[in-house]
Amino acid sequence: MANTSSERRSPSSTSACVVCGSTDARVLSSTRLQAGERVTVCGSHKTAHQRSEKIAVTIEELKTLTADRRAS
């Protein structure tokens, strides 16, 4: 699920992480959903998606896969 260098350099189509809403351009990147759609995410959620056991199909599934699992 590695992004190519051109994907890292391409400006994102949205200006906020689809998971947490972060708008800090310094941390925004993109990840791909299973069908190939690129979505904007922050670095933390990109890493969490890469480490998950599967590639999300939808943004809602991406949110579930990358949810904070720490005990409150």
41: closest CA among 56, 26, 27, 58? 27
User: Contact at 8 Å (CB) between 15 and 23?
Assistant: yes
Read off the pLDDT of residues 5-55 as tens digits, 9 standing for 90 and up: 544 545 445 699 999 999 999 999 999 999 999 999 999 999 999 999 899
SS3 for 2-58 is CCCHHHHHCCCCCCCCCCCCCCCCCCEEEEECCCCCEEEEEHHHHHHHHHCCCCCCC
Looking at the domain assignment, is residue 70 inside a domain? no
72 occurs within a structural domain? no
Q: What is the residue range of 11's domain? A: 5-65
Q: Which two tokens stand for residue 5?
A: 């260098």
Q: Is residue 52 part of a domain?
A: yes
Find the mean pLDDT for residues 52-61: 95
The reply to whether 51 falls in a domain is yes
Counted domains in the chain: 1
